[in-house]
């Protein structure tokens, strides 16, 4: 299974995908002849520098020509020393031990490669010792991006990084600009319905577009709050949106159930408003 994953990543990269990974990812694989089989499958030289896990608060400087990274920004990396410090803080440590699934608190997973200069790629960011922190490589038609250390993935330190990488890779986000970022849509075909799950903790009224709604007329209700929003058409939901209010005392979660108007066998369906022709 691991070999299949490595082969799939290499195949996607050569086919034109932008593959983002830490150099430490896939360091070992059962049956592999050497360490770093994932990097080798991508045609990228394994790191030559020593892996250091005891540098706290490590920051990498972004070079000016790194198109998808904020120019002049600094990227935060995470080490085993940082892990120990956070575990000693009750605000984090007390909760860590309550999680049913968690990483091993003492491991060689968190750190960075010191004086790593032989990456054979375009260097996008560097560590204070001059070694490469982030590099870009040409593999077939794709461009893998390698982090030569463990990025600090907590909320805040790398905010906007993956969005920048996705934009540079040509990914179009149909939900860009929506006021409620925590939103998912689903369409279980057998039920002939469409659903939207939204979570927002800031009180207020928002107009949210739902880009995944198919054409047609839909009766919408909120399965959590119980509100019936009325009848909307798919095009209007995709382009204009629906007005949603988050008020004190209500759940921050909304589950919008969208049923085809013609399938709602009730006379009261019209009583909640027809917004198909605003």
204 and 88 housed in the same domain? no
Looking at residue 277, its pLDDT comes to 63
For residue 45, give both structure tokens. 């030289």
65 and 140 housed in the same domain? yes
32 and 100 housed in the same domain? yes
**Is there a domain that residue 53 lies in?**
yes
105: burial class by Cβ within 10 Å (0-12, 13-18, 19+)?
middle
Its domain, for residue 147, covers: 2-168
Looking at residue 1, its pLDDT comes to 40
52 and 129 housed in the same domain? yes
Looking at residue 65, its pLDDT comes to 65
Residue given tokens 């490595």 in the structure block:
6
According to DSSP, residue 72 is labeled T
Distance CA(150)–CA(172), nearest Å, equals 27
Is 53 in contact with 111 (CB distance < 8 Å)? Answer: yes
116 and 195 housed in the same domain? no
63 and 189 housed in the same domain? no
150 and 29 housed in the same domain? yes
Q: How many CB atoms lie within 10 A of CB 143?
A: 19
Looking at residue 109, its pLDDT comes to 86
CA atoms 83, 66, 132, 134: torsion sign: positive
| Close Cβ partners of 271 (under 8 Å, ≥ 6 residues apart) | none
141 and 188 housed in the same domain? no
Is 178 in contact with 160 (CB distance < 8 Å)? Answer: no
- Structural domain ending residue among the three candidates 134, 168, 202: 168
**Is there a domain that residue 241 lies in?**
yes
CATH number of the domain encompassing residue 240: 2.60.40
157 and 75 housed in the same domain? yes
Number of domains in the chain: 2
Distance CA(27)–CA(198), nearest Å, equals 37
113 and 33 housed in the same domain? yes
**Is there a domain that residue 40 lies in?**
yes
Looking at residue 31, its pLDDT comes to 78
**Is there a domain that residue 205 lies in?**
yes
**Is there a domain that residue 240 lies in?**
yes
- Structural domain ending residue among the three candidates 144, 168, 192: 168
**Is there a domain that residue 113 lies in?**
yes
Q: Which residues pair with 263 in a beta bridge?
A: none
Per-residue pLDDT of the chain in tens (278 residues, 90 and over written 9): 445 688 888 899 999 999 999 999 888 888 788 899 999 999 998 988 899 999 999 999 988 766 677 666 789 999 999 999 988 888 888 888 888 888 788 888 899 999 888 778 899 999 999 999 999 999 999 989 999 999 998 877 787 788 888 888 888 888 888 999 999 999 987 888 999 999 999 999 999 999 999 999 999 999 999 999 999 999 999 999 999 999 999 999 999 999 998 888 777 777 787 887 65
163 and 267 housed in the same domain? no
pTM for this model (two decimals): 0.73
Q: How many CB atoms lie within 10 A of CB 173?
A: 11
CATH number of the domain encompassing residue 108: 3.40.50.880
218 and 142 housed in the same domain? no
**Is there a domain that residue 92 lies in?**
yes
**Is there a domain that residue 138 lies in?**
yes
């Amino acid at each position: 299974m691991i070999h299949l994953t490595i082969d799939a990543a290499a195949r996607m990269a050569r086919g034109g995908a932008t593959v983002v990974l830490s150099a430490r990812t896939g360091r070992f694989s059962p049956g592999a002849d050497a360490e770093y089989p994932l990097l080798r499958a991508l045609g990228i030289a394994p790191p030559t520098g020593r892996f250091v896990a005891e540098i706290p608060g490590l920051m990498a400087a972004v070079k000016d020509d790194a198109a998808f990274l904020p120019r002049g920004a600094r990227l935060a990396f995470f080490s085993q020393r940082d892990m120990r410090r956070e575990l000693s803080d009750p605000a984090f440590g007390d909760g860590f031990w309550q999680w049913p699934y968690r990483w091993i608190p003492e491991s060689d997973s968190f750190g960075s490669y010191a004086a790593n200069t032989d990456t054979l790629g375009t260097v996008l960011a560097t560590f204070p010792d001059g070694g490469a922190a982030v590099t870009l490589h040409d593999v077939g038609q794709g461009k893998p991006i390698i982090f030569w250390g463990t990025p600090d993935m907590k909320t805040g330190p790398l905010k906007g990084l993956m969005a920048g990488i996705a934009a540079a890779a040509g990914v179009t986000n149909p939900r860009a600009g929506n006021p409620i970022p925590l939103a998912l849509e689903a369409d279980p075909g057998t039920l002939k319905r469409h659903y939207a799950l939204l979570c927002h903790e800031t009180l207020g009224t928002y107009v949210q577009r739902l880009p995944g709604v198919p054409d047609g007329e839909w009766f919408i209700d909120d399965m959590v709050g119980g509100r019936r929003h009325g009848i909307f058409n798919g095009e209007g939901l995709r382009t204009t949106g629906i007005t949603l209010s988050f008020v004190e005392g209500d759940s921050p979660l909304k589950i919008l159930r969208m049923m085809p108007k013609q399938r709602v066998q009730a006379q009261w369906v019209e009583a909640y408003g027809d917004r198909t022709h605003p």
